[in-house]
Chain A
Amino acid sequence: MSTVDTHAGHSDTHHHDHHGPEKGWRRWLLATNHKDIGTMYLLFSLTMFFVGGLMALVIRAELFQPGLQLVNPQFFNSMTTMHALVMIFGAVMPAFVGLANWMIPLQIGAPDMALPRMNNFSFWILPFSFTLLLSTLFVEGGAPASGWTLYPPLSLQTGNAFPLSIFAIHLMGASSIMGAINVIVTIMNMRAPGMTLLKMPLFAWTWLITAYLLIAVMPVLAGAVTMLLTDHYFGTSFFSAAGGGDPVMYQHIFWFFGHPEVYIMILPAFGVISEIIPTFARKRLFGYDAMVYATASIAFLSFIVWAHHMFTVGMPLAGQMFFMLATMLIAVPTGVKVFNWTATIYKGSLSFEPPMLFALAFVFLFTIGGFSGLMLAIVPADFQYHDTYFVVAHFHYVLVPGAVFALMAGVYYWLPKWTGHMYNMTLAKWHFWLSAIFVNVLFFPQHFLGLAGMPRRIPDYNTQFADWNMISSIGAFGFGLSQLLFAVVIFQAIRGGAKATDKVWDSAAPHGLEWTLSSPPPYHSFEVAPEVK
């Protein structure tokens, strides 16, 4: 980790050839400032978090009781599909890009992102993409309802929504690739003098690796959905058995993207947690180098485990063995990370501010998701768990109290730095405790449902599943409503509040270049690069 020369941070007073932000809409539409673009990304993803959350509540409301009460099965399937697409591509990924935009230049001592105009473009694609995607709710034939994986031949039966959703995915992909290129170029070319790669904050490190994953796999997704498009409209037979293709091949190509994609959503979360825990444990991160190498190992392994999503398609035994063992191998670097976080906490002088609460909940609950992942990796067991609520419980544990809690931890950690105002700690702690309790009420019973055999993506269920479904739905509404507090805390802090100091968490004395700047940082920061010893 870096040792910071505190004098360097004041170089931002040289404003000779720059002005403040433009006034009105031009500031946002024509934004090239990493802070403005970061803010837009974060607010966009917050909006999408509520849109996707609303869809989740439709699902949970329908599943509150057995039988069909509120929506028809087609619309239910649209909700599961759209909820996933909106949350993955609209909420979690843009939120991490937003954090990257805000924090990477501040953490590595760069004046801005390397390619500011492309940065603007990559953000502004997103509202168009999601307008396109959400508009499918109103077209003939309804929104896509084949699951976010869009497996053919089912996905080819989508109505008019089909080309719209494919183009929306193309745009999301283009946006992510541009964001990733920007992150890599910024980190590679613009680190402050003295900041070698192995002195870089872990958030920047995990993002660097994530960015490479994005460039490697988002185009593969673009290719896969393009093949769906040509199969549908131009008579190709990539996935049509009648023309010599193979629908199973789609699953291979999709998951070659899909598995690295889940690490794209979790590696930056690891970075955020690795920033927060040392601060509030008042210790240096245990095993910094090991963290970097573990992240790289996870990224590498993510490319050779994809078929564990499709054990039941009829794979040769050797294939099942390989993908099972490779998958279980991921537990090793992940275990290293959990060990290091725990070792950082060990004998630390802890304090429990909202970011730390979320970070600790992350470590505990993400590990539960990791363990159920190991269970799913076991081929003979997976034949029972496949396509049940156990899978739903597993990936929601790694994504909600995993990626989403890390995002919230990151927001609560850096929000005073961004806005210059301390937020309402009491409300934030309420938000934490309600979220942490309800997220378990919501997802833990789904393990039981899955083990008992309840299939996923079905709007109705056998009455034997009624009790746990009702509890899960209560948890869903509790969790969903608690998130309104999150929005309240954020908007209160944007509007005003107690002045935040430069270090924000003074008693914890956080390390890192971002804390050498004022809160909020000047519009143009680090115009003269700080010296890192």
Chain B
Amino acid sequence: MNDQLKRNHRSLASRLWLFAGGSFAFGFALVPLYDVLCDVTGYGNRSRLVEAAEVVEAPDENRSITVEFVSTAPTYGNWEFRPAVGSMQVQPGKLYEAHFEARNLRSQPIVAQAVPSITPFQATRYFQKTECFCFTPQAFAAEESRQFTVRFIVDPKLPANIDRVTLGYAMYDAKQGSG
């Protein structure tokens, strides 16, 4: 094999290795490209997800709603679980925070899961929880006390005939079902 041919081989082969390296890099570049494509086109509902995370406060000064808090006695285990306040006056379109007190009365650790419900039912889609202890299971050490937080905002589009909304929680032992 003559030298010229060897040089040609080497140069073409190294360009092809570069191509292969570029392909490897392109595989990783697909990760940000995928995000960019979704953001630009709005595919995958990503923009809507981002909107849901942002809370835009637009308080309706002329309206006042009573929000009541109730807790249901745990159906399993031995619990203390009650709202910190029984009710509060809120303006639609404004972010509020409410607290619940919970205590595991048993001498064993336990994982709790709170399940919310809104009354009246028609108000459910207008009562938005931006943060809630009910989103994740809550682990308790033996006889541990905890304060839970829920942040919520009542949509100003809440029908005019509703002036009272009840947020209730039932507490369950999260591990009961799975044994």
Could you list which residues of chain A lie within 8 angstroms of chain B, going by C-beta atoms?
Answer: 114-115, 118, 177, 180-181, 184-185, 188-190, 215-224, 227, 238, 246, 249, 252-253, 256-257, 314-316, 318-319
A to B CB contacts below 8 Å, 30 in the list = A115-B9, A115-B13, A180-B16, A181-B20, A184-B12, A185-B16, A188-B12, A189-B8, A215-B19, A217-B23, A219-B20, A220-B23, A220-B24, A220-B26, A221-B27, A222-B24, A222-B27, A223-B24, A223-B26, A223-B28, A224-B27, A249-B34, A252-B34, A253-B27, A253-B30, A253-B31, A257-B27, A314-B44, A316-B43, A319-B43
Assess A219 versus B13: contact at CB under 8 Å? Given A252-B34, A256-B30, A319-B43.
no
Q: Give the chain B neighbours of A219 by CB distance below 8 A.
A: 20-21, 23-24, 26-27
Q: Give the chain B neighbours of A249 by CB distance below 8 A.
A: 30-31, 34
Question: Of all chain B residues, which has the CB nearest A116?
Answer: B1
Task: Say whether A189 contacts B5, CB under 8 Å.
Answer: yes
In the complex, which range does the number of interface residues on chain B fall in? Answer: 20 to 34
Which B residues, 116 to 160, have Cβ-Cβ distances below 8 Å to chain A?
none
A386 CB, min distance to chain B CBs, angstroms: 19
Bound complex: CA A318 to CA B38 (Å): 13
Q: Pick the residue among A114, A257, A316, A319 that contacts B9 (CB under 8 A).
A: A114
Q: Does B76 contact A (CB under 8 A)?
A: no
Bound complex: CA A190 to CA B28 (Å): 35
A128 CB, min distance to chain B CBs, angstroms: 20
Task: Say whether A215 contacts B20, CB under 8 Å.
Answer: yes
Q: Give the chain B neighbours of A218 by CB distance below 8 A.
A: 20, 23
Which B residues, 13 to 49, have Cβ-Cβ distances below 8 Å to chain A?
13, 16-17, 19-21, 23-28, 30-31, 34, 41, 43-44
Task: Say whether B34 contacts A215, CB under 8 Å.
Answer: no
Bound complex: CA A221 to CA B26 (Å): 11
Assess A181 versus B13: contact at CB under 8 Å? Given A219-B21, A220-B23, A238-B31.
yes
Task: Say whether A220 contacts B9, CB under 8 Å.
Answer: no
The winner among B5, B16, B27, B44 for most chain A CB atoms within 10 A is B27
B62 CB, min distance to chain A CBs, angstroms: 41
Report, nearest first, the 7 A-B pairs whose CB atoms are least far apart: A223-B27, A219-B24, A219-B23, A220-B27, A181-B16, A316-B43, A114-B9
Bound complex: CA A221 to CA B23 (Å): 10
Assess A189 versus B9: contact at CB under 8 Å? Given A215-B23, A238-B31, A319-B43.
yes
Bound complex: CA A256 to CA B33 (Å): 13
Question: Of all chain B residues, which has the CB nearest A112?
Answer: B1
A148 CB, min distance to chain B CBs, angstroms: 18
Bound complex: CA A249 to CA B26 (Å): 14
